[in-house]
Amino acid sequence: MEQNLALTWQLSEIHDWGLVGVHTALHLVEQGRPPLLLEKPLMSTLRPENRDKLHVLLDAHQQITAIAARSNNRALRLNDCTVLHALGNGFVPGPLSAQFRGSRNIGVIAFEDTRFDEEIRRQARSYDSLVVHSTYNKNLLAEQGVAEVACAFQGVDPDELPLVPPAKRFGDRFVVFAGGKLEFRKGQDIALAAFRRFHERHADALLVTAWHNPWPHTSADMAESLLTPAAPAIGDNGKLRLVEWAMANGLPPEGFVDMGFLTRSQLPGILAECHAALFPNRCEGATNLVAMEAMACGVPVILSANTGHLDLIRDGNSLPLRHQTPVADPAGRRRGWGESSVEEAVERLETLYTDRAAARACADRARAFLRGERTWRAFAKSFVAAVT
């Protein structure tokens, strides 16, 4: 008999974890197996159609919250229920994992910190099984002797990413998109250095970024880069001063546009204006949702051939950055991370600039791959199968 599933993390449509939860819950509701939400969903962030479908889960959430409140914070065992525990780097669970345990307990994780000491291995093995979102993570766990691991690849929602005609908001410029919250792991310093050299050759090129970080203090690790002299400052408004940072690193004002925080509804329109997308990330524990969304919207992408990106790269669907060197790893936390070559990134941009027909063919293959194989519906089906 299939057990009920309970989720320990918050459903939303503003970050990766939230999207994993939303699309898992939508699939389960559709299958007549509504999950138990242990964390209150952020319903205001959901598209109206998803909000309507998931509203049915609120009563059960309120009931379990009331039961937990009456228990005086004692741990509750949910019999005949499989609890899915959201884990962070080091396999650290959230607070609800201490409060709720099921008859089965499954850890869900996408990790970039690869340090494994005895305590971390014990944490990883304390669950009945684990689910990861990349072959990279699965292989790292296998090397540690953790065998009960399934892999479910994250996806995109084609309905959320309509193909729209470009509005020519940037005129006839050659537009390069780069996205993802700014931090050393994401490699925005590499993208900036590569685009600066590319722009010196092609004055019509424009870098359009969505790099803002909701936790701006975590961007301070960009100071570790050898390509940029310092991390971007944080303004009085609490946001990264990205334009100043780009200018300090040699980009002229006419070559850079900071889009700020893009909503999910804004993304297709911006991507429709772009001729290339550049993701020289040093590490991805999953498969990089922003890159996947660019591919699904028909933008030819340049991807670092390392870690979770390797699960996106198929023959002819992207321009991989194959020249990868190890990233400095004094603490033993970066196994498998890769440093992309700035020169190779410039070459890849040149390829997309000079051969627009080949760029379009590459983008078409990527779009078909993402919309055919890597949808949230496909993710939810494989994820639920892995935990039941």
Choose the final residue of a domain: 128, 151, 174: 151
Asked if 176 and 101 sit in the same domain, the reply is no
pLDDT in tens, 339-372: 999 999 999 999 999 999 999 999 999 999 999 9
Interior CA angle at 9 toward 5 and 15, to 5°? 125
Q: Is 383 domain-assigned?
A: no
User: What CATH number does the domain containing 308 carry?
Assistant: 3.40.50.2000
**Whole-number Å distance between alpha carbons of 300 and 177:** 10
Q: Is 91 domain-assigned?
A: yes
Residue 338's pLDDT is 98
User: What CATH number does the domain containing 8 carry?
Assistant: 3.40.50
**pLDDT band at 2, cuts 50/70/90?**
low
Residue 115's pLDDT is 96
Asked if 364 and 253 sit in the same domain, the reply is yes
Q: Mean pLDDT over all residues of the chain?
A: 96
Asked if 38 and 174 sit in the same domain, the reply is no
Is the confidence at residue 31, as pLDDT, over 80?
Answer: yes
Q: Please name the residues in contact with 130: beta carbons below 8 A apart, sequence gap of 6 or more.
A: 106, 107, 108, 109, 124, 141, 146, 148, 149, 150
Asked if 278 and 313 sit in the same domain, the reply is yes
Asked if 244 and 113 sit in the same domain, the reply is no
| Whole-number percent of the chain with pLDDT over 90 | 93
Residue 2 is given by DSSP the state P
Q: Range of 218's domain? A: 161-373
- Average pLDDT of 37-61? 97
Choose the final residue of a domain: 151, 178, 211: 151
Q: State whether residue 274 is helix, strand or coil.
A: coil
Asked if 44 and 186 sit in the same domain, the reply is no
Is the confidence at residue 310, as pLDDT, over 50?
Answer: yes
pLDDT in tens, 311-337: 999 999 999 999 999 999 999 999 999
Q: Is 384 domain-assigned?
A: no
More confident residue, 202 or 14: 202
Asked if 147 and 239 sit in the same domain, the reply is no
The separation between CA 358 and the C-alpha centre of its own chain, rounded to angstroms, equals 27
Q: Is 378 domain-assigned?
A: no
Asked if 46 and 188 sit in the same domain, the reply is no
Taken in order 384, 214, 110, 37, the sign of the CA dihedral is negative
**Whole-number Å distance between alpha carbons of 197 and 342:** 9
Is the confidence at residue 28, as pLDDT, over 90?
Answer: yes
CB atoms within 10 A of CB 131: 24
Torsion on CA atoms 244, 247, 253, 256, rounded to nearest 10:
-80
Q: Please name the residues in contact with 298: beta carbons below 8 A apart, sequence gap of 6 or more.
A: 163, 271, 363, 364, 366, 367
Residue 1's pLDDT is 46
Q: Please name the residues in contact with 335: beta carbons below 8 A apart, sequence gap of 6 or more.
A: 114, 140, 329
**Whole-number Å distance between alpha carbons of 103 and 327:** 41
pLDDT in tens, 91-147: 999 999 999 999 999 999 999 999 999 999 999 999 999 999 999 999 999 999 998
Asked if 254 and 121 sit in the same domain, the reply is no
Residue 73's pLDDT is 72
Residue 71's pLDDT is 85
Ramachandran angles phi, psi of 93, nearest 5°: -85, 165
- Tokens representing 235? 């303004």
pLDDT in tens, 53-98: 999 999 999 999 999 999 887 889 999 899 999 999 999 999 999 9
Strand 339-340 relative to strand 319-321, pairing: unpaired
**Whole-number Å distance between alpha carbons of 177 and 169:** 14
First vs last C-alpha separation in the chain: 10
Choose the final residue of a domain: 131, 151, 171: 151
Q: Is 156 domain-assigned?
A: no
Instruction: State if pTM tops 0.85.
Output: yes
**Whole-number Å distance between alpha carbons of 150 and 129:** 8
Q: Is 380 domain-assigned?
A: no
Q: Is 364 domain-assigned?
A: yes
Asked if 310 and 213 sit in the same domain, the reply is yes
How many domains does the structure of the chain reveal? 2
Residue 155's pLDDT is 98
Asked if 108 and 179 sit in the same domain, the reply is no
Q: Is 385 domain-assigned?
A: no
- Tokens representing 94? 């959230």
Asked if 89 and 122 sit in the same domain, the reply is yes
Residue 58's pLDDT is 97
